[in-house]
Structure 1
Amino acid sequence: MPLSVGDKLPEIKVKITGDREIALSDFLGRNLVLYFYPKASTPGCTQEGLDFTAAADAFAAANTAILGASRDGLKAQENFKTKQGFSFELVSDKDEALCQLFDVIKLKKMYGKESLGVERSTFLFDTEGVLRHEWRKVSVKGHVDEVLSAAKAL
């Protein structure tokens, strides 16, 4: 059953850039933005990461950590983060465990072909690890400002 607003942060460990494994519960005591994007090093995903990086100081001032996640492997995530200079870690969810928990794998159509892919989505947890906001089918333009406003309001 997918998470919904009011649910607690799931107990799951994830692999992140820097070749580390962390538990999402490591972020308790801070707000957490967990955003999912379809594929590293693609234009929309790059812009979204750059927008979060540009707002990193404002998120930090709002006691909010940021994690980006996709099904890309750790090497692709490392390259993406380094090349773009992202100020936060990226999650490699090759086995789709995190994607399944958040129900972000959706049937997509492109050029008449159907495939399963990550639907751009963002989740905001409060300091207690409770899901307070979710955005699905995200459009990149203006999205980070909306998330930042919600984080400041927590």
Structure 2
Amino acid sequence: MLDQPVPDFSLPATGGDSVTLSSLRGKKVVLYFYPKDNTPGCTTEGQDFTALNDEFDRAGAVVYGVSRDSLKSHEGFKSKLCMPFELLSDADETVCNLFGVIKMKNMYGKQVRGIERSTFVIDRDGVLRREWRGVKVAGHAQEVLDFIKTLK
């Protein structure tokens, strides 16, 4: 999928709207997929993207967090962390499957299906320009921002 146009999609978002990829043409888009609201790694990742949001904005990028959690869960998580960007609910895994982020993971010795922490950058023309899979949270938001700044 790298260097290919991303198929259009629409997901419900916090704030009562939906986000449709095609409506974001002309902007750089960061989609970061995370496993679950209100968990330690996901909280830290959300805080990191929040701290850098003004810089993403100045670089012409919009950030969206995506997980399978409900909008109600997302609204609470967003409010708790004072996130300036919207969270998208992919409860039926449509967009998760589009990006191939659903994986079997070990949790407390059991195999469970879940989201592999991953981030994707889509350019102003809707083309996937970079992907990170199996993300380690520390320093990741800054790495994404540094890449965003290299795009026209």
Q: Which bracket does the TM-score occupy, shorter chain normalised? A: over 0.9
1:109 counterpart = 2:106? yes
With structure 2 as the length reference, what TM-score do the two structures score? 0.97
Letter in 1 for 2:67: S
4+ long deviations beyond 4 Å:
none
Which residue in 2 is equivalent to 1:141?
Answer: 138
For residues 37-95 of structure 1, give each alpha carbon's deviation from its aligned partner in whole angstroms, at most 9, with x where no partner exists: 00001110011011001001110111000000000001000100011100100001101
**Matched positions, count:** 151
Question: In structure 1, what is the Cα distance between the partners aligned to 2:23 and 2:48?
Answer: 24
Shift of residue 152 of structure 1?
A: 0.2
Matched residue of 2:114: which SS? strand
Letter in 2 for 1:93: D
Consecutive unaligned residues in structure 1, runs of 5 or more: none
Question: In structure 2, what is the Cα distance between the partners aligned to 1:121 and 1:25?
Answer: 21
Which residue in 2 is equivalent to 1:11?
Answer: 8
Letter in 2 for 1:111: Y
Q: Which of residues 36, 49, 60 in structure 1 aligns to 2:46?
A: 49
With structure 1 as the length reference, what TM-score do the two structures score? 0.96
Consecutive unaligned residues in structure 2, runs of 5 or more: none
Which residue in 2 is equivalent to 1:79?
Answer: 76
Question: In structure 1, what is the Cα distance between the partners aligned to 2:28 and 2:104?
Answer: 30
